[in-house]
Amino acid sequence: MSSISARRLAKELAEIHSEGCPVGINLVKADDFTCWWFTIEVMGESLYQDEKFTLQFRFDSGYPISSPAVQFVVTDGKQAPIHPHVYSNGHICASILGNEWSPVLSVVAVCVTLQSMLASCKEKQRPVDNDRYIRHAPDNPKKTQFHYDDDTV
Amino acid sequence: MPSMANFNYVDGVNPNLLCCICRMPFNDPFTTQTCGHTFCRDCILQSLDHVYQCPIDRQALTADDLKPADSIIRSLVDELVVECTNQTCSHICQRQLLEQHLQSSCPYVEVPCPSRGCDQIMLRGEAVNHRCEYSLVTCDACDTEVEAAQLEDHRIQCYQQLTTCDLCGLQFQRSAKSSHQNSCPESPMQCPQQVNGCSWKGKRVALHSEHISSCPYQALSGFFSIFHERTQVLQDENTVLKRRVESLQTQIRTIEIQLQSASLALGPWFRNSNLGLSSPETSISDTLRSPDLPSHQRPRLQTVSSPRSVPEGDAFAAYFPPQEEIQSYERQQLSAMERPAPDRHLEHPVRSIHRNSWSLGQGWDALHTPASRTSKQVASAVAPLDFSCTLEGTLEGLRESIVALSTSMETLGRRNDIALTNETLRLNEELMSLKANIHGLRMQMHAMMMDNAQLTGRTDPLLFENSFPTVSTHRYHYMSNTQSATKL
Ligand SMILES: [Zn+2]
Ligand SMILES: [Zn+2]
Ligand SMILES: [Zn+2]
Ligand SMILES: [Zn+2]
Ligand SMILES: [Zn+2]
Ligand SMILES: [Zn+2]
Ligand SMILES: [Zn+2]
């Protein structure tokens, strides 16, 4: 792993430890600079009242130039939120994780974006192609070419 | 230089100088001409490899749109203070000077052996002391530098060559250079008696042919050698004596300290032993060991309070006033109830020497005053502490006083017990007779009340039969009180 990505992640982790995460987001584990876990809750009125989801970040040596691989954890009884952009295997169809990723974004920024994505949801439903997608989905969501057709949801 | 990304900044850095991509202070900053954003050169070039956009505002961007950042920004980040990138090196300097430090002075940078031909790698700090077959050494015969491995070969050739002495012009092989230097007749010499004071200087040849035979110091060489021997013996002896004096001085210092603490602990008695010392015929051990002083010394020492006989007695007179003074002091105390006198006494110069005397004086004060206050008889019976006596003698005297005191207290206690028993018996008897009187009165009263009840016609036998007389009367009074209260 290149030292640039490690130093950048060390800096972000130090900021999380000193300033804390935004409300509803909590760091679960960050034992190394390859895989971090957060819990994410939607605060206030929403379809996901009292639900708590676990978000996994995987980093490669290209971070922050290349985006982290982000998905919801669906093992050990954990569930992905039912949302038109979240597949039942935890993969997320969000443009900032793909072609709109920018190296100026951070782990916490991604968490906040996904939190607001859930908060603005109008109807709890899986993506229309959910069954077809999860049959052939790669392990790493970054290998999927999503079509970001609906950015408003 | 790839290590440049690993700077450790000594101070906090202005957030405006941080690159948005690596979150570190700009390293070789470049600014976009299209949107004016600044990044590290490496960071933005890597990002452009990924996508032709500005990472901050996603405007289209190519490498051609980048130009070196403003010189103010460059100097701001170049002047940030960083640690040396070698973990073991404690050097800190401006970031722009670190490269220079690593290239030329950091002792923890690996460098090749400075000797040409050697391919060993070592830390710069160790290279100075590095010796190998390529290190240059100086030939003793011709003063040229040769590699260590070739010195032997060089010597074989070098030694055979002829050379000429600069002083006498003699030709010889280089191998004989050092032996010729010791025998050249033209080489400058000093007289061998220089250590004894001869100041002659000249050529070797002149020394042996002329000077030695005429040198006055040389003539005395026999005397000098004996003299030197004796001086040596004296010097040795002196060294031994010096060491002995030193050890004695340390011993004296230790003893002084011990004496000081002993004097502190002894308080006024310490001065007393000094008195013993001041008389030449009495040694300190005599005064300390024998509680019974020789009879001829006793009277003199016991008149301490008189300033004429012993000068130090004056100081102690304040502490240990004679009998009349104690009594007058008591009277004073009883009348005025103020005690400035003892404290002022303690301010006496003696206090600065014997600090313990303060508590000692107080203890004496506390012990002595109440005893004398209770009864004048006891006060006059107990003699004041005699500080002119030895410590052991005084302690012995005190112990005897305590024994006597405890015996008398025991007697007193027993006497008290007997008196108490007698008194109790007497009181018991009186109590019995009083009880009998009360009983008689009660009987009389009962009869009177019965008569009264018959006269008024109110018969309440229960009240009189079952109740204790005092209770019934109380109730009676109470009832009458309430009645009168309601009437009012
Ligand atoms: Zn820009
Ligand atoms: Zn950067
Ligand atoms: Zn250094
Ligand atoms: Zn070498
Ligand atoms: Zn030579
Ligand atoms: Zn010569
Ligand atoms: Zn001489």
A-chain residues near B5 (CB < 8 A)? 3-4, 7
- How far apart CA B236 and CA A69 sit, in angstroms, is 87
Helix (H, G, I), strand (E, B) or coil at A61: coil
β-bridge pairing B29-32 and A52-58:
unpaired
Phi-psi region of B267 (alpha: psi -120 to 50; beta: other; left: phi over 0): left
- How far apart CA B423 and CA B419 sit, in angstroms, is 6
Between A5-9, B40-44, B210-214, B366-370, the lowest mean confidence (pLDDT) is in: B366-370
Which residues fall inside 5 Å of ion ligand 1, going by CB?
B 35, 37, 54, 56-57
Helices (H) and strands (E) in chain B, counts: 22, 13
> Torsions phi, psi of B200, nearest 5?
-70, 140
Question: pLDDT tens digit string along B209-257?
Answer: 888 888 888 888 899 999 999 999 999 999 999 999 999 999 999 999 9
CB of B84 closer than 8 Å to CB of B98: yes
Distance of CA B5 from the midpoint of ligand 2 (Å)? 9
* Ligand having the closest approach to the CA of B138: 5
Which residues fall inside 5 Å of ion ligand 4, going by CB?
B 113, 115, 118, 120, 132
Put simply, the chain A residues between 7 and 66 with a CB less than 8 A from any chain B CB are: 7-8, 11-12, 64-66
CATH code of residue B34 = 3.30.40.10
Long-range contacts of B217-222 (CB under 8 A, 24+ apart): B217/B191, B217/B193, B218/B191, B218/B192, B218/B193, B220/B196, B221/B193
- How far apart CA B88 and CA B95 sit, in angstroms, is 18
Best mutation target, B21, B37, B39, B42, to test chain A (most A CBs within 10 A)? B21
Domain presence at residue B134: no
Structure tokens at A118: 């859930």
Cis peptide before B384 (omega within 30 of 0): no
CB of A80 closer than 8 Å to CB of A55: no
Structure tokens at B259: 């004496």
Interface of chain B toward chain A, CB-CB under 8 angstroms: 5-6, 20-24, 43, 46-47, 49-51, 53, 55-56, 58
What is the per-residue pLDDT for B327? 55
> Torsions phi, psi of B17, nearest 5?
-100, 10
Domain presence at residue A153: no
Q: Which has the higher per-residue pLDDT, B473 or B131?
A: B131
Between B13-27, B94-108, B159-173, the lowest mean confidence (pLDDT) is in: B159-173
Average pLDDT rounded to a whole number, residues B301-319: 45
B-chain residues near A104 (CB < 8 A)? 20-21, 55-56
Distance of CA B153 from the midpoint of ligand 5 (Å)? 10
Question: pLDDT tens digit string along B147-191?
Answer: 888 888 888 888 888 888 888 888 888 878 788 888 888 888 888
Mean model confidence pLDDT for chain B: 75
Between B31-45, B98-112, B262-276, B326-340, the lowest mean confidence (pLDDT) is in: B326-340
Inter-chain residue contact B22 with A102, CB threshold 8 Å? no
Inter-chain residue contact A103 with B51, CB threshold 8 Å? no
Instruction: Assess A68–B contact: CB distance below 8 Å, yes or no.
Output: no
Domain presence at residue B118: no
Inter-chain residue contact B50 with A100, CB threshold 8 Å? no
If we measure between CA atoms, which residue out of B52, B23, B16 comes closest to residue B40?
A: B23
What is the per-residue pLDDT for B466? 44
Put simply, the chain A residues between 96 and 115 with a CB less than 8 A from any chain B CB are: 99-100, 102-104
Domains contained in chain A, number: 1
What is the per-residue pLDDT for A122? 87
| One domain, residues B322 and B228 | no
Helix (H, G, I), strand (E, B) or coil at B299: helix
Question: pLDDT tens digit string along B425-458?
Answer: 999 999 999 999 999 998 888 888 888 887 776 5
Whether B349 shows a pLDDT value over 80: the answer reads: no
- Across the interface, of A3, A64, A104, the residue whose CB is closest to B56 is A104
Helix (H, G, I), strand (E, B) or coil at B122: strand
Whole-structure pTM value: 0.46
| One domain, residues B352 and B269 | no
What is the per-residue pLDDT for B458? 55
pLDDT in tens, chain A (153 residues): 447 888 899 989 999 999 889 899 999 999 999 999 999 999 888 889 889 999 999 999 889 988 999 999 998 889 999 999 999 999 998 888 988 888 999 999 999 999 999 988 888 999 988 888 888 888 888 877 776 655 444
Compute the nearest-CA separation of A46 from chain B (Å): 31
| One domain, residues B446 and B394 | yes
CB of A106 closer than 8 Å to CB of A147: no
Between A67-76, B403-412, B473-482, the lowest mean confidence (pLDDT) is in: B473-482
% of chain B beyond a pLDDT of 70: 69
Q: List the domain range (segments joined by +) for residue B188.
A: 162-218
Query: Which of residues B303, B333, B350 is at a domain's end?
Result: B303
| One domain, residues B422 and B343 | yes
B-chain residues near A14 (CB < 8 A)? none
> Torsions phi, psi of A118, nearest 5?
-70, -40
* Ligand having the closest approach to the CA of B40: 2
What is the per-residue pLDDT for B253? 92
| One domain, residues B325 and B452 | yes
What is the per-residue pLDDT for B120? 84
Phi-psi region of A24 (alpha: psi -120 to 50; beta: other; left: phi over 0): left
Residue appearing with tokens 């230790």 = B254
Structure tokens at B150: 């070739």
Inter-chain residue contact A3 with B6, CB threshold 8 Å? yes
Whether B303 shows a pLDDT value over 90: the answer reads: no
Q: Per DSSP, what are the bridge partners of residue A25?
A: A40
Burial B223-251 (b: 16+ CB within 10 A, else e): ebeeeeeeeeeeeeeeeeeeeeeeeeeee
| One domain, residues B456 and B321 | yes
Average pLDDT rounded to a whole number, residues B405-425: 94
| One domain, residues B297 and B333 | no
Compute the nearest-CA separation of B125 from chain A (Å): 28
Q: How many CA atoms lie within 13 A of B251 on its CB side?
A: 6
Domain presence at residue B85: yes
CA dihedral B33, B34, B37, B41 (to 10 degrees): -50
For the annotated catalytic residues of A, the residue numbers are 93
- How far apart CA B314 and CA B267 sit, in angstroms, is 16
Domains contained in chain B, number: 4
Structure tokens at A115: 């939190």
| One domain, residues B281 and B337 | no
Inter-chain residue contact A3 with B5, CB threshold 8 Å? yes
What is the per-residue pLDDT for B462? 46
What is the per-residue pLDDT for B404? 93
Inter-chain residue contact B5 with A65, CB threshold 8 Å? no
Q: Per DSSP, what are the bridge partners of residue A56?
A: A37, A71
| One domain, residues B102 and B211 | no
Average pLDDT rounded to a whole number, residues B339-365: 44
Structure tokens at B237: 């002896």
Q: How many contacts does A have with B, using Cβ atoms within 8 A? A: 39
B-chain residues near A4 (CB < 8 A)? 5, 22
Whether B282 shows a pLDDT value over 70: the answer reads: no
Domain presence at residue A115: yes
Long-range contacts of A144-152 (CB under 8 A, 24+ apart): A144/A91, A146/A93, A146/A95, A146/A98, A148/A93, A148/A94, A148/A95, A148/A98, A148/A99, A148/A100, A150/A84, A150/A85, A151/A95
Long-range contacts of B346-355 (CB under 8 A, 24+ apart): B348/B315, B348/B318, B349/B315, B350/B268, B350/B271, B350/B315, B350/B316, B350/B319, B353/B263, B354/B263, B354/B264, B354/B266, B354/B267, B354/B268, B354/B270, B354/B271, B355/B264
Domain presence at residue A148: no
Give the residue from chain A lying closest to B20, CA to CA: A104
Q: List the domain range (segments joined by +) for residue A26.
A: 4-138
What is the per-residue pLDDT for B93? 92
CB atoms within 10 A of CB B108: 17
Inter-chain residue contact B21 with A104, CB threshold 8 Å? yes
- Across the interface, of B6, B23, B46, the residue whose CB is closest to A65 is B46
Length reported for chain B: 488
- How far apart CA B101 and CA B105 sit, in angstroms, is 5
Domain presence at residue B402: yes
Between B75-89, B421-435, B449-463, the lowest mean confidence (pLDDT) is in: B449-463
Instruction: Assess A4–B contact: CB distance below 8 Å, yes or no.
Output: yes
Question: pLDDT tens digit string along B53-65?
Answer: 899 988 899 999 9
What is the per-residue pLDDT for B427? 94
Compute the nearest-CA separation of B1 from chain A (Å): 14
Q: Where are the beta strands (DSSP E) in chain A?
A: 25-29, 35-41, 52-58, 69-72
Q: Per DSSP, what are the bridge partners of residue B203?
A: B188
CB of B3 closer than 8 Å to CB of B53: no
Would you give the end-to-end CA distance of chain B in angstroms?
Answer: 116
Burial class (CB in 10 A: 0-12, 13-18, 19+), B164: exposed
Structure confidence at residue B137 as a pLDDT band (50, 70, 90):
confident
CB of B341 closer than 8 Å to CB of B347: no
Distance of CA A13 from the midpoint of ligand 3 (Å)? 28
Compute the nearest-CA separation of B9 from chain A (Å): 13
CATH code of residue A36 = 3.10.110.10
